[in-house]
Amino acid sequence: MTKRFIITEEEKDDILSKYGLVSEQMNQQKAVDTQMEKIKPETGGKYCFGDPKRLQSAYGYNVKLYKVKSGDTLSDIASKHPGVTDVDDLIRINKGCSVSKGLKSGDVIAIVMMPSM
């Protein structure tokens, strides 16, 4: 039987600090709306993932926002983020932009990172 514990953000930070971990190693990100406060599209860019509450509801805290840089490709982004297994997932999640036709620098995409095994 799996035991689950509910901890505060402060307790989580204490645990991460104590063991020298970073959030990405746990595939636990901040809430999507919190990330949106820091990661904003550049002028002419947009959020590609649609409703942040729906995204959060569907994937929990396994969502990382990423601002597209010049020269980025979906396969490059997938390979740089642990737990991302399929470029098609990036396309499906980011329907608000035509990412399947290429990425636009300055757009912000959502990356769902599956928990490490």
Over residues 43-77, the pLDDT tens digits come to: 999 999 989 999 988 888 889 999 999 999 999 99
3-state secondary structure of 80: helix
Residue 107 neighbours by CB distance under 10 Å: 22
Q: Where are the domains of the chain?
A: 28-112
Q: Which is the CATH superfamily of the domain at 28-112? A: LysM domain (3.10.350.10)
pTM score of the predicted model: 0.73
Tens digit of each residue's pLDDT (9 = 90 or more) over 70-89? 999 999 998 888 777 688 88
- Give the pLDDT score at 117: 42
Query: From residue 86, how far is each of 2, 74, 75 by CA, in Å?
Result: 28, 9, 8
- For the chain, give the number of residues: 117
Residue partners of 72: CB distance under 8 A and separation at least 6: 103, 105
